[in-house]
């Protein structure tokens, strides 16, 4: 999101030279690698897990469907069928079929899951994950390094701020990556790690199994040779890291030929599709200057930009029956020229031209912030003229800190004397079996069936968001910290939450981890219940969605699995 304002997908704007030159390998050349681990997918998770496995002594082959840069022909593989366009973005803008994956689009916001996410939450009917936070702790530092987000420090109490109750915490941090593109961040490791090969333009279309139900060969496809087979040497592990939807799609295609796999046709595979509910239904006014001043982005002593989130405590989540949620203040909607700010209009205007805006930020984020036509560009131009000072001070400051400074500025938060802001929420999307992906009848050029995406929010999701606003307003008032000012009367708020709710960037839940094969696809290591040498490293293994953005937790899980496989 452009939260406050996070221009964080600007990294996607310039098509850079490939970080490395990789040969388009023939099918026989791939077989000659004789890998002891194959990673399917060259996004942030696949690349980092591949590097970790190679450093651990495995001979690793990463198979990436796309090229080193964006190509329409490869991106077409992501053109899944969208049954619910009101709730889910077009899948071709929430994925990137290229080296680096959606890392060329992502916000770079790194947030660990909270202890409460791992536990039984009877008030929501949720069961504990098969792993606890203590199982993942050792991989928090490596995951931050893998994502270029500094040290694993996620708490920073506000000096001089001590409300009498801890109904909400204000000291929890999100860390922002300094380089969102994993293939650029790890350019040297990808070039020079012994035992690591990366093949571009190779799409995996199937997983063959032997009599012992181990993955024994991969069906592959390339533009040059069409369909082929990559035999897997004995002892080889397959790590499926093809993105949340890409990984689920491949498993569903495998299941179509072997319906008993992965919990069977009525089992968990493809179900419980989650993202987050985010948006604004209210403003926040800060009466407390210390809290207000602590809400901006800053560089801490641990190597990246950070920002505070306002999060309800575990106790109040239970007492009020809430799903997990985070709040933070944001600048006024940039599309709304009544803000009068030359700086905000200067951000808005280029984004309002689709061809230009797409080069500046990820398309799903652009659409969210420019809104629908008619674009009131003349009103925005007037803001540039009537408020030149903010424009002149903002533009050089932003460009310098975004492009040239040591730490990459993720966005900006323009303070105002009235201390009134939009109140952004980022709420857990509860797992519902009928929010799901299935196989469509349509196939792509490789012959693989595409997904049909049926992504749903529920009344429970909406009620929790509304309830959390009430609890926050109550706490702010009791502590004399500020207040929540709604944008609509009570009867219109549920509809407003629903109208704001649209996702698909965070692809969670559809290969969920759990305790057994009837309720889950993988165990707490990410290993599939049904095929012992097939593992999934993806946000899609997360069984609940937290208030946290998912990539950091998925990276912890992936690096933990890599360490286990390296020593196996």
Q: For 88, which DSSP code?
A: B
Structure tokens at 317: 């989540």
User: Which of 167/367 has CB closer to ligand FAD?
Assistant: 367
Look-up of token digits 């909400």? 168
Q: Which range in 42-50, 154-162, 345-353, 380-388 contacts ligand FAD by CB under 6 A?
A: 42-50
**Among 538, 545, 547, 556, interactor with ligand FAD by CB under 6 A:** 538
User: Which of 45/269 has CB closer to ligand FAD?
Assistant: 45
**Among 116, 242, 344, 424, interactor with ligand FAD by CB under 6 A:** 242
**Among 203, 401, 464, 547, interactor with ligand FAD by CB under 6 A:** 203
- What are residue 37's DSSP bridge partners? 60, 237
User: Which of 339/369 has CB closer to ligand FAD?
Assistant: 369
Q: Which range in 16-24, 59-67, 252-260, 423-431 contacts ligand FAD by CB under 6 A?
A: 59-67
* 40 part of the interface to ligand FAD, by CB under 6 A: yes
Structure tokens at 470: 């009430």
What 3-state DSSP class applies to 554?
A: helix
* 523 part of the interface to ligand FAD, by CB under 6 A: no
* 204 part of the interface to ligand FAD, by CB under 6 A: yes
Characterize the bridge pairing of strands 237-240 and 60-64.
Answer: unpaired
* 324 part of the interface to ligand FAD, by CB under 6 A: no
Report the b/e string of 507-534 with b at 16+ CB within 10 A: bbbbbbbbeebebbbbbbbbbbbbbebb
* 351 part of the interface to ligand FAD, by CB under 6 A: no
* 42 part of the interface to ligand FAD, by CB under 6 A: yes
Q: Which range in 89-97, 307-315, 382-390, 391-399 contacts ligand FAD by CB under 6 A?
A: 89-97
Cα–Cα dist 106/119, whole Å? 28
Q: What are the residues whose beta carbons fall under 8 Å from the beta carbon of 255, sequence distance 6 or more? A: 261, 262, 265, 269
* 391 part of the interface to ligand FAD, by CB under 6 A: no
CB of 275 to ligand FAD, least distance (A): 9
**Among 295, 362, 472, 542, interactor with ligand FAD by CB under 6 A:** 362
Q: For 16, which DSSP code?
A: P
Look-up of token digits 């049954």? 83
Structure tokens at 37: 């681990």
**Among 7, 11, 68, 106, interactor with ligand FAD by CB under 6 A:** 106
CB of 358 to ligand FAD, least distance (A): 12
Q: In this structure, are residues 65 and 77 in contact, taking their beta carbons and an 8 Å threshold?
A: yes
- Tell which positions 281-300 bind ligand FAD, by CB under 6 A: none
Q: Which range in 23-31, 262-270, 335-343, 360-368 contacts ligand FAD by CB under 6 A?
A: 360-368
* 102 part of the interface to ligand FAD, by CB under 6 A: yes
**Among 19, 22, 39, 45, interactor with ligand FAD by CB under 6 A:** 45
* 109 part of the interface to ligand FAD, by CB under 6 A: yes
| CA-closest candidate to residue 546, choices 430, 449, 419, 466 | 430
CB of 471 to ligand FAD, least distance (A): 25
Burial of 266 (0-12, 13-18, 19+ CB in 10 A): exposed
Count of residues of this chain found to bind ligand FAD when the rule CB under 6 A is applied: 42
Cite the DSSP H helix spans in 25-152: 27-33, 44-55, 72-75, 91-94, 133-136, 140-147
Q: In this structure, are residues 242 and 204 in contact, taking their beta carbons and an 8 Å threshold?
A: yes
User: Which of 345/546 has CB closer to ligand FAD?
Assistant: 546
157-196 mask for ligand FAD (x: CB under 6 A)? ----------------------------------------
CB of 419 to ligand FAD, least distance (A): 26
Burial of 134 (0-12, 13-18, 19+ CB in 10 A): exposed
435-454 mask for ligand FAD (x: CB under 6 A)? --------------------
CB of 410 to ligand FAD, least distance (A): 9
Task: Answer left, alpha or beta for residue 119, where phi above 0 means left and psi between -120 and 50 means alpha.
Answer: beta
| CA distances in angstroms from 295 to 175, 327, 418, 537, listed in the order given | 14, 11, 15, 33
Q: Which range in 183-191, 292-300, 485-493, 550-558 contacts ligand FAD by CB under 6 A?
A: 550-558
| CA distances in angstroms from 549 to 155, 225, 255, 354, listed in the order given | 16, 39, 29, 26
Element (H, E) at 436: strand 436-443
* 505 part of the interface to ligand FAD, by CB under 6 A: yes
User: Which of 67/471 has CB closer to ligand FAD?
Assistant: 67
Q: In this structure, are residues 66 and 201 in contact, taking their beta carbons and an 8 Å threshold?
A: yes
* 37 part of the interface to ligand FAD, by CB under 6 A: no
Other residues' Cβ atoms within 10 Å of the Cβ of residue 388: 11
Structure tokens at 215: 């993955």
Residues in contact with ligand FAD by the rule CB under 6 A: 9, 40-46, 63-66, 94-95, 97-98, 101-103, 105-109, 203-204, 241-243, 246, 250, 362, 364-365, 505-506, 538-539, 549-552
């Amino acid at each position: 999101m452009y939260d406050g304002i996070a221009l964080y997908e600007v990294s996607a704007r310039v098509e850079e030279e490939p970080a490395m030159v990789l040969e388009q390998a023939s099918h026989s050349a791939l077989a000659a690698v004789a890998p002891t681990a194959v990673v399917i997918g060259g996004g942030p998770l696949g690349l980092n897990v591949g590097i970790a496995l190679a450093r651990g002594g495995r001979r690793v082959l990463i198979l990436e469907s796309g090229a080193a840069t964006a190509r329409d022909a490869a991106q077409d593989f992501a053109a899944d069928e969208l049954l619910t366009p009101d709730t889910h973005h077009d899948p071709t803008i929430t994925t990137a079929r290229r080296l680096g994956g959606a890392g060329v689009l992502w916000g770079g916001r790194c947030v660990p899951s909270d202890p409460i996410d791992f536990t039984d939450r009877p008030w929501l009917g949720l069961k504990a994950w098969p792993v606890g936070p203590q199982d993942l702790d050792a991989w928090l530092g490596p995951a931050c390094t893998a994502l270029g987000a500094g040290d694993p420090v996620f708490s920073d109490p506000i000096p001089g701020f001590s409300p009498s109750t801890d109904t909400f915490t204000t000291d929890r941090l999100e860390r922002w990556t300094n380089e969102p593109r994993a293939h650029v961040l790890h350019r040297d490791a990808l070039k020079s790690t012994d035992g690591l090969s990366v093949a571009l333009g190779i799409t995996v279309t199937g997983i063959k199994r032997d009599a012992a139900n181990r993955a024994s060969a991969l069906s592959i496809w390339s533009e040059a040779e069409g369909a082929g087979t990559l035999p897997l040497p004995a002892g080889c592990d397959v790590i499926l890291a093809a993105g949340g939807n890409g990984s689920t799609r491949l498993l569903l295609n495998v299941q179509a030929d072997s319906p008993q796999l992965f919990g069977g046709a009525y089992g968990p595979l493809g179900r419980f599709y989650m993202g987050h509910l985010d948006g604004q239904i209210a403003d926040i006014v800060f009466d407390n200057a210390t809290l207000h001043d602590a809400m901006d982005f800053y560089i801490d002593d641990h190597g990246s930009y950070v920002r505070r989130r306002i999060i309800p405590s575990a106790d109040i989540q239970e007492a009020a029956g809430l799903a997990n949620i985070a709040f933070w203040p944001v600048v006024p909607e940039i599309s709304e020229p009544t803000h009068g700010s030359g700086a905000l209009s200067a951000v808005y205007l280029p984004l309002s031209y689709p061809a230009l805006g797409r080069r500046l930020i990820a398309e799903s984020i652009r659409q969210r912030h420019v809104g629908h036509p008619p674009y009131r560009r003349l009103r925005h131009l007037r803001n540039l003229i009537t408020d030149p000072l903010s424009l002149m001070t903002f533009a050089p400051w932003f460009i310098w800190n975004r492009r040239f400074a040591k730490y990459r500025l993720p966005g900006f938060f323009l303070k105002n004397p009235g201390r009134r802001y939009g109140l952004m929420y980022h709420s857990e999307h509860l797992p519902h079996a009928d929010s799901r992906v299935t196989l469509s009848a349509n196939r792509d050029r490789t012959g693989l069936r595409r997904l049909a995406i049926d992504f749903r929010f529920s009344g429970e999701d909406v009620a929790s968001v509304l309830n959390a606003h009430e609890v926050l307003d109550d706490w702010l008032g009791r502590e004399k910290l500020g207040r929540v000012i709604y944008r609509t009367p009570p009867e219109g708020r549920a509809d407003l939450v629903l109208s704001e709710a649209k996702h698909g960037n965070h692809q969670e839940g559809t290969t969920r981890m759990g305790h057994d094969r009837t309720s889950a696809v993988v165990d707490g290591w990410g290993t599939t219940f049904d095929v012992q040498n097939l593992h999934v490293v993806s946000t899609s293994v997360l069984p609940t969605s937290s208030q946290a953005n998912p990539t950091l937790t998925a990276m912890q899980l992936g690096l933990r699995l890599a360490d286990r496989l390296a020593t196996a």
